[in-house]
Amino acid sequence: MKKCDYCGKEITYFEQYCSDECQQKANKFYETQEKFTKIFSILCAICVMAVGIGIFIFSFLKIIGTVTVVSASFILAILIFCLPFPTDNMISKYKIKKSVEYVKIISYIVFGFGIAFLIFSFIF
């Protein structure tokens, strides 16, 4: 059977969504994604580069490197949590609702990385 493009419930082959609510949520998701994709990509790239640069700086200047890595990872985690944009492959495999949940889990992992780096910097 075919599945709803938003929630993944089984539907007939002639439908795309299981309800009007799922269709509205999917349309809202796609509109938000289209509106914020460019700024999201640019900010994510900047944060990822800042984490890399901060790790490099950490070997020379401990405090500045720590502040850079932790702040960039926190900003990246908040950005990913607020704008959870999964890839097209994730959407086709898990549908929109579950893909967004997985991306939010990834944001928790990035936040945890920032906390772990902060603890690591205090130990060493």
Alpha helices, H only, the chain: 20-58, 62-82, 88-123
The rounded percent of the chain whose pLDDT value lies above 90 is 94
Q: How far apart are CA 42 and CA 110, in angstroms?
A: 17
How many angstroms separate the first and last alpha carbons of the chain? 56
C-beta atoms surrounding 112 within 10 Å:
12
Read off the pLDDT of each residue in 69-92 and give the average, rounded to a whole number: 96
| pLDDT at residue 124, as a whole number | 82
Q: Whole-prediction pTM value?
A: 0.91
Comparing CA positions, the residue from 105, 99, 75 lying closest to residue 87 is: 99
pLDDT digits (tens, 9 = 90+) for 37-56: 999 999 999 999 999 999 99
Cα separation, 124 vs 122, in Å, equals: 6
Q: Round to whole Å and give the CA distance between 40 and 58.
A: 26
For the stretch 52-64, pLDDT in tens is 999 999 999 999 9
The Cβ-side half-sphere exposure at 85, using a 13 Å CA radius, reads: 17
Instruction: Check if the beta carbon of residue 41 is closer than 8 Å to that of residue 68.
Output: no
